[in-house]
Structure 1
Amino acid sequence: MSFQSHIKQLAAAGALALSVSGLSFCSPAFAQQTVKVGSVLSVTGPASFLGEPEDKTLRMYIEKINAAGGVAGKKIELVIYDDGGDANKARTFATRLIEDDKVVAMVGGSTTGTTMAMIPVFEEAQVPFISLAGAVEVIDPVRKYVFKTPHTDKMACQKIFENLKQRNFTKIAMISGTDGFGASMRAQCIKVAPAYGVQIVAEETYGPRDSDMTAQLTKIKSVAGIQAVINPGFGQGPAIVTRNYAQLGMSAIPLYQSHGVASKSFIELAGPAAEGVRLPAAALLVGDKLPDNDPQKKVVVGYKQTYEATAKQPVSTFGGHAYDGLFILVEAMKRANSTDAKKVRDEIEKTKGFIGTGGIVTMSPADHLGLDLAAFKMLEIKGGDWTLVKPGS
């Protein structure tokens, strides 16, 4: 029986309260038998739609892990800080995790901006850092102690362009957010477009606090021959773009979003305008629609049921990233039979065939993500819900 299967059987068991806002509640005797795992997340602020489900996921599963006996002979003590989406705060908290809390590993970093601010801290301290951010720059170039679980923005561009090619679309426009993720994905799409025979004939941008993108979309609408529009971005911006898109009568031109909006909150914010929008996302959003022989089905359906029953809110891929990061770490500790940071780092890098919510992960010294394009599903929003796009359509 796998470790993950074992803890699912103990899901109803009680567990110790671990930490809240970075404060530990362990007794001295318990503390001697624990291993500290850190997390810096954007639980509040503009990226809370990422950080909140990540926070809830880590807490609920660490309780289950501890109820099942812990890992490598120790209970996990979780130390979480909320950076509010602020990169400077994130770096400060990362330093605190290393210097004061003495964590052996870190699972966190909700955004690309906060992650990039924290990377030097963990690299210098030689402590494994499994990021939950989307941009490819997190793991390219490869850094010895930095890993990540979400599909990259480069992969999102490739998956979208793959679908464009299937539909014989060659001329597109982009409207991109200027946040760290939006800017990074824009750059990646520009790089990979020629390989798919795609020409970007119009481009616009918007800021993270902009509340109306009608002007930018009107300019795009005026360009003749555009066959599709791509919106690299996350947060509320893409929902506003989607609503303005429909208001301008542009719905006849296919609109693609990124995996940065892969949560039910996007559909709710965009409303009826979301109908027909396509985006690449993890299998987690369509777990119940996967064939029974899909190796991910049991994992994603199990996570979805556990999360929604505990958190009382719809599952998102973002909490799934935290699930994957936590269990990649736990399995590495088990294989190392140790909580030594360097030994754990080595085992994370040896992760092979790990079935997570984001895909089947196989890492190597040259690949600290371990996912390929097959891990991405192309989805379309229909009737206010996610549907799988059939191959070739």
Structure 2
Amino acid sequence: MLPETSLRGTLLAATVALGLSATGAFAQQEPCIGNSVAVTGPAAFSGQAIKLGAEIAIDEINAAGGVLGKKLKLIQYDDAGAPPRGVDNTRRIALADKCIAVLGGFHSTVALAQVDPIHEIGIPYMGVWAANTKAIENGRDPNFMFRISAKDKWVARFLVDEALKVSKSGKIAFFYENTGWGNGALPDIKAALAAKGKELAAAETFNWNDQDMTPQVIRARDSGADVAIVWSLDREANQILRSMDKSSWKPTIIGAWGISGNLGELAGPLANGVRVMQTYSFQTEQSATGKKVLAAIEAKTGIKDPKDIKAASGIADAYDAVYLLADAIKIAGAYDWKKVQAALYEVSRDGLVAPYKPAFDKKDPERQDALLPQYYLLTVWHDGKLIPFKGSPYDK
């Protein structure tokens, strides 16, 4: 008898082979989008936001008659931030549900794990949160991984620019988690600084669930850095802030959007003034589309104050992602993976987050990302809420 791990691998290979051999039978996919996101665990807020944004877009599209005469449906799966579950969900969405596309979630570790099954099967993937550069710039041709979200390579440049604006010493420290997301960001941050003629004063890493960052904080403090770029999730950023407080070090803190979920709740007043890159806020002046989405959020959740909306970027990115997929299906003229993948390069529309004209460019590997960095937004934690930095108490 085969060991359990070998048997599982054999069965999985057989499933993939069956799916690939049945490509002809799958030429007409179903009018559904599979959503593999974290709806449990510490990043559950992200999955809930993505689900909400996708559902609002699908409701609007279906109210207008659907796509090619069919109503769209969202099929929800939980990956809990675990790469193996993300892989399993991808296969289930494609081979069992036969959906036209996969929506990707919060964790870059999951997105990286999905690259292989996405291309083995040939189903379009649309990322709406995970920002790892190589998940999308993966060297595949044709490339089935698309994204409407931030990209770490561009985020690094954005954060470095903001850091150098406020630094008096020109010395920047970098705190990053020891994961595919964090480790992938280190060379991006170094490259962004090198382009400005600078080097990191300190680079400190940590693991998920670490409870004390004091040694890392002290080394960064003693480097002379007066700005800290933080590349982490909320729970670890909370520990970084507490260690900074204990070590009497108060640098300006600027973070990637892993700290945009519940840092204000975890860290309390220590989070005040922590700046965070985002792609969208419902607290700025809203377009007609933004007002319509706000009304839908209130109808679905009861939330009336935009300040109480969590993970606005996840909602908005998912909303636009569904519309771009719907446009591609219309251009393709069929619910067919290959045709929709090719049609995505022809999509052009004014979205909620940004104009996408065109959304993607097949000739440019960087342009499997639809959201360009000029549309990134700086926000800041204040009294437990994430608010636009412009006009905030910290905008001096």
Give your verdict on TM over 0.5: yes
Contact 1:150–1:321 at 8 Å: present in 2 too?
yes
Distance 2:259 2:51 in 1: 18
Distance 2:29 2:231 in 1: 45
Aligned residues: 351
1:72 deviation in Å?
A: 1.3
Distance 2:144 2:127 in 1: 11
Residue identity matched to 1:261: I
Distance 2:239 2:291 in 1: 30
**Residue 157 (structure 2) pairs with residue 191 (structure 1):** no
C-alpha distance 307-243 of structure 1, shift in aligned 2 (>3 A): farther
Residue identity matched to 2:239: I
Contact 1:108–1:322 at 8 Å: present in 2 too?
no
2:334 equivalent in structure 1: 338
Which residues in structure 2 correspond to 1:228-377 (within 5 Å)?
228-251=227-250, 253-263=251-261, 265-282=262-279, 284-285=280-281, 287-290=282-285, 297-312=287-302, 314-316=309-311, 317-357=313-353, 360=356, 362-365=359-362, 366=364, 367-377=367-377
Deviations 1:232-281 (A, max 9, x none): 11242123322332343322x21111122234x22222211112212221
Deviations 1:284-341 (A, max 9, x none): 22x4334xxxxx7333443344224413462311222222221111122223332222
- TM-score, normalising length: structure 1: 0.81
C-alpha distance 44-234 of structure 1, shift in aligned 2 (>3 A): same
Distance 1:33 1:369 in 2: 24
C-alpha distance 183-346 of structure 1, shift in aligned 2 (>3 A): same
Deviations 1:2-59 (A, max 9, x none): xxxxxxxxxxxxxxxxxxxxxxxxxxxxxx9961322211111233232222123333
Distance 1:270 1:297 in 2: 33
1:147 deviation in Å?
A: 0.2
1:138 deviation in Å?
A: 1.6
**Residue 176 (structure 2) pairs with residue 180 (structure 1):** no
Amino-acid identity (%): 24
Q: Secondary structure at the match of 1:84?
A: coil
1:187 deviation in Å?
A: 2.8
Residue identity matched to 1:298: A
Distance 2:287 2:73 in 1: 30
1:162 equivalent in structure 2: 161
1:37 equivalent in structure 2: 33
Distance 1:135 1:301 in 2: 31
2:23 equivalent in structure 1: none
Distance 1:100 1:151 in 2: 30
Which residues in structure 2 correspond to 1:15-164 (within 5 Å)?
35-132=31-128, 133-141=130-138, 143=140, 144-164=143-163
1:387 equivalent in structure 2: 388
C-alpha distance 205-300 of structure 1, shift in aligned 2 (>3 A): farther
Distance 1:71 1:142 in 2: 31
2:20 equivalent in structure 1: none
Q: Secondary structure at the match of 1:343?
A: helix
Larger mean CA deviation between 80-89 and 165-174 belongs to 165-174
Q: How much is the aligned-residue C-alpha RMSD, in angstroms?
A: 2.6
Contact 1:138–1:148 at 8 Å: present in 2 too?
no
C-alpha distance 180-359 of structure 1, shift in aligned 2 (>3 A): farther
Residue identity matched to 1:210: D
Distance 2:111 2:324 in 1: 18
Q: Secondary structure at the match of 2:229?
A: strand
C-alpha distance 125-33 of structure 1, shift in aligned 2 (>3 A): closer
Residue identity matched to 1:117: A
1:381 deviation in Å?
A: 3.1
Structure 2 unaligned residues grouped into runs of 5+: 1-27, 304-308
2:3 equivalent in structure 1: none
Contact 1:42–1:48 at 8 Å: present in 2 too?
yes
Which residues in structure 2 correspond to 1:195-206 (within 5 Å)?
195-206=195-206
Residue identity matched to 2:208: P
1:60 deviation in Å?
A: 4.1
2:16 equivalent in structure 1: none
Q: Secondary structure at the match of 2:172?
A: strand
Contact 2:29–2:100 at 8 Å: present in 1 too?
no
1:4 equivalent in structure 2: none
Contact 2:234–2:260 at 8 Å: present in 1 too?
no
Contact 1:171–1:200 at 8 Å: present in 2 too?
yes
Deviations 1:124-165 (A, max 9, x none): 222111123111112113542110111111222111111233
Q: Secondary structure at the match of 1:173?
A: strand
Structure 1 unaligned residues grouped into runs of 5+: 1-31, 291-295
Residue identity matched to 1:59: E
1:353 deviation in Å?
A: 4.3
